[in-house]
Amino acid sequence: MKNGIKVIDIHNHFYSKPWLDYLSERTEEPCFEWSSPTSGVAKVGDLATSHVDKPGDFDIRERLRDLDTAGIDVQILSHTCPGVAELPVEESIEWAKKINDLFYDICQKWPERFYFLATLPPGDINEALKEMDRAHGELGTKGYQMFSSIDGVLATDPFFYPIFEKAAALGLPVKIHPSFRPLTTEAMQKAGLPLQLFGFTLDTTMVLTLMLFQGFFEKLPDLKIIHSHLGGMAPYMMGRIDTAFNRYKKVVNIEASLMPSEAYREHVYVDTLAMHAPAIRCAYEYMGIDHLLFGTDYPHRASGTVEDNMVMVESMGFSNEEKRKVFSDNAMALFNLEKS
């Protein structure tokens, strides 16, 4: 609770020890190197993209202690980078099932504290669709996580379209999360900048822009998307996206008739992960309070600490009703959570 308001963290990640141990035994990317019993790092080339630095990253009981200390009531768990989409297809299928089963077990043990977004093996579309059905029908997932690009192919590729089609049919949201190797990896490596800085946010923004141009939300009017990290660059760049939509129809494949800014505002939700009040204000003024969701990116630190992100929302000058929406009510409506 935060000043009497329930707090639901919709953007956070859980690795699990078996997953990290498996990655540590791999000899090629994606792999993970333990540096101590409770810390380690995954890299793309020489650039670190994922850190483990405390037990709560992979120990659920330690995580519960962290959540209690921070005043977070509920987390909607998801996997993270490196994810199963980076693996060879057969291993990806196997690990997607293992991770979803693990999330299910956690939610069964602590039903008032955890829900989850299912992870998928997108390299085999038929197996991905089967896992979507299993996660929904047997495990009770509240949505799905899709990485922005898979082996250099953006998530808007027609190969992956059935995933979004099924999610819309089931009425479950899809969170677009940056991939372990975004399309900008080479450029970021050349610049010597961390992938998390621009590589991650540009990757997801390209995906959402293509969704808008290709008419995803007109073809699938029930599709709901969560755009990670305050919508990447989209809220701030929406004027340019609208302009490109109108001006470059002869050189860009545009199948939509609805203006991007209208479709995004209606169908997309963003978390509050920015650590910059003017950026959150921009998203708020453009999208409205009902499409803002609280997230922490726990255990990652690129978006600030759990405490930092809670203070940031508190500092926005929102009314108590608006804070209640951001911290919990919007998530409860989007994920169809029971009130308690």
pLDDT tens per residue across span 135-161: 999 999 999 999 999 989 999 999 999
pLDDT computed for residue 197 by the predictor: 81
Strand partners, 61: none
Residue with tokens 């994920």: 335
Q: Which of 279, 283, 291 is nearest to 329 (CA)?
A: 291
Q: Which tokens is 277 given?
A: 């009040």
What's the pLDDT tens digit per position in 89-104? 999 999 999 999 999 9
User: Cα(326)–Cα(236) distance, rounded to whole angstroms?
Assistant: 19
Put simply, whether the predicted model's pTM sits higher than 0.85 gets the answer yes
Q: Output DSSP code: residue 10.
A: -
pLDDT computed for residue 43 by the predictor: 75
Q: Which of 129, 90, 91, 103 is nearest to 16 (CA)?
A: 103
pLDDT computed for residue 47 by the predictor: 66
Q: What is the CA radius of gyration of the chain?
A: 19
Sign of CA dihedral 214, 199, 162, 297: negative
Q: For the range 303-307, what are the long-range contacts, defined as Cβ-Cβ under 8 Å and sequence gap of 24 or more?
A: 303/229, 303/273, 303/274, 303/275, 304/273, 304/275, 306/9, 306/66, 306/70, 306/72, 307/70
pLDDT digits (tens), the chain, 340 positions: 777 899 999 999 999 999 999 999 998 888 888 889 888 888 767 767 777 888 888 999 999 999 999 999 999 999 988 899 999 999 999 999 999 999 999 999 999 999 999 999 999 999 999 999 999 999 999 999 999 999 899 999 999 999 999 999 999 999 999 988 888 888 888 888 887 788 889 999 999 999 999 999 999 999 999 999 999 999 999 999 999 999 998 888 899 999 999 999 999 999 999 989 999 999 999 999 999 999 999 988 767 788 899 999 999 999 999 999 999 999 999 999 987 5
Q: Which tokens is 165 given?
A: 């089609």
- Phi, psi (deg, nearest 5) at residue 297: 65, 15
pLDDT computed for residue 198 by the predictor: 82
Q: Can you list the domains of the chain with their CATH numbers?
A: 83-318 (3.20.20.140)
